[in-house]
Amino acid sequence: MAMTRDRALDTTRLRQDFPILGREVNGHRLVYLDSAGSAQKPRQVLDAMDDFYRRSYANVHRGAYTLANEASEALESAREKVAHFIGAGSPNEVIFTKNATEAMNLVVNSWGRANLRDGDVVVLTVLEHHANIVPWQILADQIEIELRWVPLDHQGHLDLTALDELVDGAKVVSFSAMSNVLGTLTPVRRIADAARAAGAMVMVDACQFVPHNPTDVAELGADFIAFSAHKMCGPTGIGALWGREAMLDAMPPFLGGGSMISDVRLDGFTPAPLPHKFEAGTPPIAEAVGFGAAVDYLSALGMDSVRRHEVELTSYALRTLTERFGDQIAISGPSEPAERGGVFSLAYRDLHPHDISQVLDERAVCIRAGHHCAKPLMRYMGVGATARASVYVYNDESDIDALSEGLEAAGEFFAF
Amino acid sequence: MPGLEDLYREIILDHYRNPRNRGELPTPPAHRFEGFNPLCGDEILVYVDLEDGVVSDVRIGGQGCSISQSSASMMSAAVKGKTVAEVRDLTTAFKGMMSIHETQLEGTDEEGEPPPDSGSDIALGDLEALRGVVKFPVRIKCATLSWNTLAQGLDELAADEST
Ligand SMILES: Cc1ncc(COP(=O)(O)O)c(C=O)c1O
């Protein structure tokens, strides 16, 4: 195992922060390689949520008593942390949602219904997660929008040769900043500039991007970005939509109910100002606290270091797996670590992904087998499923080695 | 803790390596039924020729893991030559064996023993090898995919004929 002196992250120390990594499964040390599915949580996040429930818990924005004030402050302070983490101009631009999926549904339903008419064009890419496909397809049942698809090249990059024609006349361009199957990092700024020049609204599914890369919304150039806390060491049940303040301001509410209004009369309602206009009902308060703690945790590591760590690990994985298995293994996506994140969809011999993951589970190596909520991409790749390993801050070379040994064992088990 | 050998019995691996009745049948006269496992994207195609209520021929297509493929292969061998009514009984017996609630998790593995709740003396034969799948709950859907596909297809045929 190659240990370089000057590592981006001290994973040995950092692993101590994640209680679950101390667990054994089937008598083996847990090797968690499904962070693209969901990331594990550090003690700092667990403690923040626990402390909040034990000390300050109450509903928010609804009472004048001390606990209610503390809870409201905790929620808004989490919003400020998340806003700062992605370089948002104001916390009002950060809407807390259930997850990235709900964030994108919010935009499709609110902005989409207000701005799209029969015949309008929405440009998506074939590598999208279902969360950035199905909401548009549901809308297409009601408004006759035309969906156009950006294709891929042979390495799993977006094929942008016809970008100008694709975005020409489009009202929306919505795409992922990083593929959860191929690992591909897409040229967000280039696409956003082309789309905005064509007069289109730009939404970026940043669900795999924000957890792994320094993010500056001004630099990305989009109008909206969506991401989930649970993929960045935060809890489930909360995600965020960032949008340009003027655009969010002009949009009608999505869900209606408590908290999102300034006034309700028998003949109508007046929505609350941002961000609460889009946060109907009791919000995920403790989850917001956990989200804020996750952002603090990642900021302390430094997102530049997080990215550098993953490039190191990606290089190691691509090199060692290819060296060991040669043409018995095919790893999807760009071969250049700088052009991708640490998500590896593997085809290994003719083993089915389910069978691979079953053998790996026996050794406590957790990988994902399936279509990864990207069935159009699976069809495009000509497969039904892939075996996907993905890394995060707490993974190191020994985890990749465990994957490698597990693959070897699976190969022997199913040898024909 | 159940081990890999509980899941991947030798007969299963044999059917996976040498699938029986793999291929297609011309439609018509054959019927083609299609099934998906939405969780993992596996896809199964079952072709059946029916003559006077008897499954005279069957072929399996599609893609899937060793469990779904071997279960489909075993099913194809088991249903060939049986009447539609017998196929239904066999399906019920098989799905009974695949039901977590009806099978003891620590159950014994004796060959040929009928599942406790099949309610009949239907012999499952080779299919008994799939009993261990119950210990791996996420794989149950793999094992039942081809059976559900066939049963649903036959139900739809019957419904079409009665209208
Ligand atoms: C690229 C991408 N988009 C969207 C999602 C949806 O995230 P969530 O299920 O948290 O809403 C995911 C997560 O699986 C993803 O990887």
How many domains does chain A divide into?
2
- Name the phi and psi angles at B99, rounded to 5: -90, 125
- Name the phi and psi angles at B45, rounded to 5: -120, 130
What pLDDT tens digit does each residue of chain A (416 aa) get? 444 557 899 999 999 999 999 999 989 999 999 999 999 999 999 999 999 999 999 999 777 899 999 999 999 999 999 999 999 999 999 999 999 999 999 999 999 999 999 999 999 999 999 999 999 999 999 999 999 999 999 999 999 999 999 999 999 999 999 999 999 999 999 999 999 999 999 999 999 999 999 999 999 999 999 999 999 999 999 999 999 999 999 999 999 999 999 999 999 999 999 999 999 999 999 999 999 999 999 999 999 999 999 999 999 999 999 999 999 999 999 999 999 999 999 999 989 999 999 999 999 999 999 889 999 999 999 888 899 999 999 999 999 999 999 999 999 988 76
Domain holding A95: CATH number? Answer: 3.40.640.10
A71, A139: one domain: yes
Question: Is position A167 within any domain?
Answer: yes
- A100: nearest Cα among A213, A208, A172: A208
Instruction: Report the nearest-CA residue for atom 16 of ligand 1.
Output: A180
Angle (nearest 5°) at CA A209 between A207 and A215: 115
Question: Is position B160 within any domain?
Answer: no
Question: Is position A1 within any domain?
Answer: no
Please state, as a whole number, how many other Cβ atoms lie within 10 Å of the Cβ of residue A349.
15
Question: Is position A5 within any domain?
Answer: no
CA A261, distance to chain mean position in Å, is: 30
Single residue among A283, A299, A315 that ends a domain in this structure: A299
A17, A110: one domain: no
How many domains does chain B divide into?
1
Tell me the pLDDT band of B163, cut-offs 50, 70 and 90.
low
A140, A274: one domain: yes
A126, A28: one domain: no
Residue A349's domain comprises 11-41+302-413
- Give pLDDT, residue B130: 86
Question: Is position B74 within any domain?
Answer: yes
Q: Which atom of ligand 1 is nearest to the CA of A102?
A: 11
Q: How far is A362 from chain B (nearest CA, A)?
A: 7
Q: How far is A356 from chain B (nearest CA, A)?
A: 9
Sign of the CA dihedral A334, A335, A339, A344? positive
- B112: nearest Cα among B128, B98, B97, B96: B128
Judged on CB neighbours under 10 Å (0-12, 13-18, 19+), A55 is: exposed
Domain holding B34: CATH number? Answer: 3.90.1010.10
pLDDT mean over B92-113: 61
Instruction: Report the nearest-CA residue for atom 15 of ligand 1.
Output: A207
Alpha helices, DSSP H, located in A148-261: 163-167, 188-197, 217-220, 245-250
Cα distance between residue A217 and residue A231, in whole Å:
18
Select from A352, A370, A384 the Cβ nearest to the Cβ of B66.
A352
A278, A318: one domain: no
CB A84 within 8 A of CB A215: no
Single residue among A256, A274, A299 that ends a domain in this structure: A299
Distances, alpha carbon A260 to alpha carbons A96, A252, A359, B65, in Å: 12, 11, 49, 48
Count of helix runs (H) and strand runs (E) in chain A: 15, 17
Select from A385, A414, A416 the Cβ nearest to the Cβ of B40.
A385
Q: Which residues make beta-bridge pairs with A141?
A: none
Structure tokens at A312: 């190191």
Question: Does A332 sit in the ligand 1 pocket, CB within 6 Å?
Answer: no
Please state, as a whole number, how many other Cβ atoms lie within 10 Å of the Cβ of residue A32.
24
Residue B25's domain comprises 4-154
A362, A279: one domain: no
Question: Does A171 sit in the ligand 1 pocket, CB within 6 Å?
Answer: no
Q: How far is A92 from chain B (nearest CA, A)?
A: 38
Q: Which residues of A touch B64 (CB under 8 A)?
A: 352, 384
Single residue among A282, A299, A316 that ends a domain in this structure: A299
A290, A311: one domain: no
How far is the centre of ligand 1, averaged over its atoms, from the C-alpha of A37 (Å)? 8
CB A287 within 8 A of CB A235: yes
A121, A257: one domain: yes
Question: Is position B138 within any domain?
Answer: yes
Question: Is position A125 within any domain?
Answer: yes
Question: What's the ipTM?
Answer: 0.78
A336, A289: one domain: no
A154, A221: one domain: yes
Q: Which atom of ligand 1 is nearest to the CA of A101?
A: 11
CB-CB under 8 Å, B66 with A414: yes
Question: Is position A327 within any domain?
Answer: yes
pTM, two decimal places: 0.91
Question: Is position B162 within any domain?
Answer: no
CB-CB under 8 Å, A375 with B40: no
Question: Is position A4 within any domain?
Answer: no
A29, A54: one domain: no
CB A105 within 8 A of CB A226: no
A135, A209: one domain: yes
